[in-house]
Structure 1
């Protein structure tokens, strides 16, 4: 089993949704660098060594995780960071998963709690989210 296995709406590896601030740092054994990302009202934690960004909700619990190299997220044995996004989508389709394209490089698997960021068809990152996270699906 991969160190970074996606468990839909529950976790990415040892990082679980609902963890409080400070817990990811203990699990990863790496101090984060905090920064403001986009329109987020809370600080995001960057774990460069792990290749992760951890986002918190207003209550200070983990709600969203972005993964990029060197992390290698997997879902049911499929390498989600395979460079050719079409190959990843085809592998996931064999499992019965359907993709929602957001027109901005996002390939969302809303029913499994993760997405790929693949502008120009090249996978650059994987995002994993808790149940109820606003993915923008209703705005499409």
Structure 2
């Protein structure tokens, strides 16, 4: 699976743990994230990941910032992107099952690294249920 990941200064350690897990499982990872805790602008990384997902260069995306909100908002500006802010593995599962989310947004300041890794694993291993949810997902896009 091809996965793009991006983070700001709140998430380098989260990114490293997630990338290590993904590579250990054989996934192809494109890293757009910051590698230091020096202040950077989260939209730069959210847009890069969203472009990959929108253009089909990545199957899924992972974005990380302090609250998870700003980077998700940035990603959601792109067509075909459904970035979901997740703070538990249950929310991550529902984002996939009901919303067909293709980018998970992680709030680094409100989750632990093990929690974030678990959320990503759940997100990637959960299928969209379709059915009654498909019509709702179709209504998300304004294009």
TM-score (norm 1): 0.30
Question: More helix by proportion, 1 or 2?
Answer: 2
